[in-house]
């Protein structure tokens, strides 16, 4: 089950300059699994850029992208919710835009 965030705030303007963006909460077990999967992706594809944002510190950016659960990812600008395996992440990276 994903954690639903009920924090509201104005979207903030930040530049997301990465192939993969993860929104997480530090004590979230599922978030830790996604971080481990992203580490494997980086190991296999060092050129992939990853940004990790902690909530609620970056809630505005998450809301701006329609992501109100954790873990949540943006892969090439497309939102994904929940734990993605490394294979699912690779598939999303390789999908046409």
The rounded distance, in Å, linking the Cα atoms of 76 and 52 is 14
Pair of tokens at residue 29: 């077990």
Q: According to the model, what pLDDT value does residue 11 have?
A: 40
Domain that holds residue 30: 17-94
The answer to whether 24 and 52 have CB atoms below 8 angstroms apart is yes
Residue 39 lies in a domain: yes
Query: For the chain, what is the domain count?
Result: 1
Residue 5 lies in a domain: no
The answer to whether 13 and 65 have CB atoms below 8 angstroms apart is no
Residue 8 lies in a domain: no
pLDDT, block means (10 residues), the chain with 97 residues: 39 64 92 95 95 82 78 92 96 91
Residue 12 lies in a domain: no
User: Positive or negative CA dihedral for 31, 36, 42, 45?
Assistant: negative
The verdict on pTM exceeding 0.75 is: yes
């Amino acid at each position: 089950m994903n954690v639903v965030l009920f924090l509201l705030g104005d979207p903030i303007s930040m530049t997301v300059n990465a192939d993969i963006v993860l929104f997480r909460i530090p004590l979230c077990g599922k978030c830790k699994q996604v971080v481990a999967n992203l580490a494997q992706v980086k190991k296999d594809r060092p050129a992939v850029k990853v940004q990790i944002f902690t909530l609620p510190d970056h809630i505005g950016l998450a809301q701006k992208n329609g992501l109100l659960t954790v873990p949540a990812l943006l892969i090439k600008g497309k939102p994904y919710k929940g734990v993605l395996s490394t294979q699912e992440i690779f598939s999303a990276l390789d999908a046409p835009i």
